[in-house]
């Protein structure tokens, strides 16, 4: 693992009593063994980009961000991210993300975060999180019609494993094979192995409880501190009004709900 330790306590700082809450343990890693599992474990990211416009002939550059569904995919020894979203998602003036679907690609920065625990402190400054995150800086490129099928398969199975084989078969209209359908849903790809792409994982844990606490916190009357573990669960499947009365809940959905039951 290639890691960078968290910033240590500054020299001269008051020593904490034995057994006191320690500073957070944080590692930053560029090792795929650290960031690939995080990318596989989630399916929503936040994508930051630059919106460039020329209202009234004046160049205007605005930072923007947008949530997008993503999938991690490996093929031919390359690691890719597929990004799925509406081309017309409102981000400003003009109301469009179409500039991201350029033939030359668009520079983006995206973040994925998994929160494992809430660290409940005795003071506002000591309340924090145990989390795992990945930040990717790279170039997002439009996926052409020939690659849309495998990108949608990766996206479907990243969200609900095994779902692809249960879906209506994808067709030429979905793939926009003739370039005439102008789909409002687009797919972008980021090559994680490209020379100029950077990928960093950050893992933060509080092995001994809240950080930044001192004797005045520990001695505060009736002060409670501890850890609240987070677990993502899903409710019972509810069919929409057009599902046939005799149509069963598909196996992928049943398994997905079961695998996320509270323990």
Mean pLDDT score, 160-181: 83
> How many CB atoms within 10 Å of residue 114?
16
In angstroms, the CA 83 to CA 63 distance is 19
The pLDDT of residue 234? 95
The pTM of this model reads: 0.83
In angstroms, the CA 263 to CA 65 distance is 35
Q: Burial level of 56, CB count in 10 A (0-12/13-18/19+)?
A: exposed
Mean pLDDT score, 236-258: 96
The pLDDT of residue 25? 83
Across-strand partners of 85? Answer: 186
Cis (ω within 30 of 0) for the bond into 224? no
* Every domain range in the chain assigned CATH 2.30.110.10: 22-114+129-203
pLDDT above 60: residue 20:
no
Contact (Cβ atoms closer than 8 angstroms) between residue 62 and residue 43: no
Tens of pLDDT, residue by residue over 24-67, are 588 999 999 999 999 999 999 999 998 887 778 888 888 988 89
Mean pLDDT score, 72-81: 95
Tens of pLDDT, residue by residue over 82-140, are 999 877 655 555 546 777 887 789 999 999 999 999 999 999 999 999 999 999 999 99
In angstroms, the CA 184 to CA 87 distance is 5
Fold designation for 22-114+129-203: Pnp Oxidase; Chain A (2.30.110)
pLDDT above 70: residue 14:
no
Does an H or E element contain 150, and which?
helix 145-159
Token pair of 23 as six digits: 């500073």
In angstroms, the CA 195 to CA 187 distance is 22
Mean pLDDT score, 236-263: 94
Please name the residues in contact with 168: beta carbons below 8 A apart, sequence gap of 6 or more: none
In angstroms, the CA 124 to CA 136 distance is 30
Mean pLDDT score, 73-79: 94
Contact (Cβ atoms closer than 8 angstroms) between residue 252 and residue 162: yes
Contact (Cβ atoms closer than 8 angstroms) between residue 79 and residue 192: yes
Query: Which pLDDT band holds residue 181 (cuts at 50, 70, 90)?
Result: low
In angstroms, the CA 255 to CA 166 distance is 13
DSSP 8-state secondary structure symbol assigned to residue 92: S
The pLDDT of residue 163? 97
pLDDT above 90: residue 195:
yes
Among 188, 16, 20, which Cα is nearest to 98's?
188
Token pair of 198 as six digits: 């950077």
The pLDDT of residue 90? 55
User: Among the listed ranges 156-160, 190-194, 203-207, which one has the minimum average pLDDT value?
Assistant: 203-207
In angstroms, the CA 85 to CA 220 distance is 49
């Amino acid at each position: 693992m290639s890691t960078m330790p968290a910033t240590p306590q500054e020299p001269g700082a008051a020593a904490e009593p034995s057994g006191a809450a320690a500073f957070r343990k944080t590692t930053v890693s560029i090792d795929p063994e650290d960031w690939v599992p995080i990318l596989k474990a989630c399916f929503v990211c936040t994508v930051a980009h630059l919106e460039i416009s020329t209202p009234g002939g004046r160049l205007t550059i605005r930072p923007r961000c947008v949530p997008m569904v993503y999938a991690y995919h490996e093929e031919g020894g390359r690691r890719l991210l597929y990004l799925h979203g509406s081309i017309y998602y409102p981000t400003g003036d003009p109301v469009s993300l179409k500039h991201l679907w350029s033939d030359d690609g668009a520079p983006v920065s995206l973040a994925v975060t998994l929160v494992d625990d809430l660290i409940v402190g005795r003071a506002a400054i000591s309340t924090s999180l145990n989390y795992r995150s990945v930040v990717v800086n790279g170039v997002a490129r439009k996926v052409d019609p020939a690659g849309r099928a495998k990108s949608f398969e990766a996206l479907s199975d990243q969200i609900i494993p095994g779902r692809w084989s249960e879906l209506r078969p994808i067709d030429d209209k979905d793939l926009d094979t003739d370039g005439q359908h102008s789909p409002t849903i687009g797919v972008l790809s980021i090559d994680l192995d490209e020379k100029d792409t950077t990928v960093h994982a950050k893992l933060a844990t509080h092995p001994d409880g809240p950080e930044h606490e001192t004797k005045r916190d520990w001695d505060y009357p009736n002060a409670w501190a501890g850890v609240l573990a987070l677990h993502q669960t899903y409710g019972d499947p509810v069919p929409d009004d057009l599902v046939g009365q005799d149509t069963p809940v598909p196996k992928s959905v049943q398994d997905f709900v079961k695998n996320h039951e509270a323990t």
